[in-house]
Amino acid sequence: MKFYDIIVVGAGIAGCSVAYFLNKRGLNVLVVDRAGVAVAGGSSAAGAFVSPKIGKGSSLQKLTNEAFEFAKDFYKEFFPKHFKQTGVVRMPKDDEDAQKFFEYAKYNSSVYQWLEENRLKEIGIKESNRSLFFTEAGICDAPNMCKALLTGIEYVQYDVKSLSYEDKIWSIGEYKSKKLILATGYENRFFDMRYMGVKGTWGTRGDYETKLSLDVSMHKKISISANIEGIVKVGATHAKEAHACLNCGADPLKELFTKASDMVDTSDFKAKGIFCGMRSGSKDYFPLVGSVIDVPLMLKEYPKLVRGERLKENPKKIDNLYVINGLGGRGFVFAPLMGKMLAENIVEEKAIDSRVNPDRLFLKWCRKSPELER
């Protein structure tokens, strides 16, 4: 029997990030994953671009860009080997979108330059619309970044099929701990967490061997990385609600390759690898970070919640259980800040930012979910 302060289930970028910040705070952490460190799930498929979100200042854009500022500084300072600050050129999708870019620039807080057609051509990008170049953005080597985050932290490959909580101790087979974090991506099968509305989006990325001289990464409808050690990453396709066992074959790559050929010279590209995975998003696209509501208990004790009754106290939680999930298409942007936030909540009892606290979704789910009888 082995005993830990905390067990993290899931070794994607979310689980690895929170484990890192807990370990830094002196906790004895075990990370378990059925497949390996970032070898399944979203984190294995991700191109792992780390760039800001453009838009007209929505609250999701603000949060994403706070996370972006934190992530790129964090990766650069502590894991420079696995983060290449290539910059990311953000191109308008079409002429109509190009008009919006002037507006977007007003709401942007990240360092940027405008690039005109002639400069884009010099860089190797086929684009006539004026584009935004985020010079501090970059790209992670996803599996090696996740492995580096776990340096000095115990990890075991283990498929968690069941878990139990007795006398204030969590048990997963022979492993025991005081606290438990679920960082399982789109899979949420251990507890009733329907109120978080986690859904999967299936995606594919292709890696190509090439001699193309390309120093910057870019995003239009798809993302293309800079040429890093002879490899250019192209991603991603998105298929909502697709099944995880979907056999992609080469079809998604054809679509990606056609789009990539409109953006850069792909004449010597040779397919080197295809990577697929499911990323998980929440109902409102904000991350899910914090403790987990005891749904069966709440529905039993407050049966009128489903008919709109207000709750005068905080919802009751499952003891010592936490979640870090719903990082959507920006796991490598969100994970460091979200991991730090959860570690601060667990160790220092600092309140979770209400924008990412899953509690925000509970009452609405009670009132609106067609799954509940009213």
Whose tokens are 């789109």? That residue is 186
Q: How far apart are CA 4 and CA 13, in angstroms?
A: 21
Burial of 249 (0-12, 13-18, 19+ CB in 10 A): exposed
Supply the minimum distance, in Å, between the C-beta of residue 327 and ligand FAD: 4
- Is 14 or 63 the residue whose CB approaches ligand FAD more closely? 14
Determine the residue type at 189.
R
Alpha carbon distance 123, 244 (integer Å): 37
Smaller CB separation from ligand FAD, 288 or 366: 288
Candidates 6, 13, 149, 346: give the one binding ligand FAD (CB under 6 A). 13
Name the strand (E) or helix (H) holding 343.
helix 331-348
Asked whether position 279 contacts ligand FAD by CB under 6 A, the answer is yes
The yes or no reply on residue 277 touching ligand FAD (CB under 6 A) is yes
Three-state SS for 236-271 is CCCEECCCCCCCCCCHHHHHHHHHHHHHCCCCCCEE
What does the alpha-carbon distance between residue 342 and residue 364 come to, in Å, rounded to a whole number?
24
User: What's the token pair of residue 49?
Assistant: 């671009």
Mark the segment that binds ligand FAD (CB under 6 A) among 4-12, 120-128, 244-252, 311-319: 4-12
The distance from CA 213 to its chain's CA centroid, rounded to whole angstroms, is: 29
For position 252 contacting ligand FAD by CB under 6 A, the verdict is no
14 binds ligand FAD (CB under 6 A): yes
Residue 164, Cα to own-chain centre: how many angstroms?
Answer: 27
Shortest reach from residue 67's CB to ligand FAD, in Å: 10
Position 345 contacts ligand FAD (CB under 6 A): no
Structure tokens at 355: 């924008």
Q: Which of 4, 7, 18, 47 binds ligand FAD (CB under 6 A)?
A: 47
Q: Is 15 in the site for ligand FAD (CB under 6 A)?
A: yes
β partners of residue 155: 31
Choose the binding region for ligand FAD from 37-45, 207-215, 248-256, 304-312 (rule: CB under 6 A): 37-45
- Contacts of residue 308, defined as CB under 8 A and 6 or more positions apart, other chains included, come to 367
Q: How far is the CB of 59 from ligand FAD (least distance, A)?
A: 19
Which amino acid would we find at residue 370?
A: P
Find the binding residues for ligand FAD in span 211-250 (CB under 6 A).
223, 235-236
Q: x/- site string to ligand FAD, residues 129 to 168, per CB under 6 A?
A: ------------------------------xx--------
Residues that bind ligand FAD (CB under 6 A): 9-15, 32-35, 40-43, 45-49, 159-160, 183-185, 187, 203-205, 223, 235-236, 277, 279, 325, 327-333
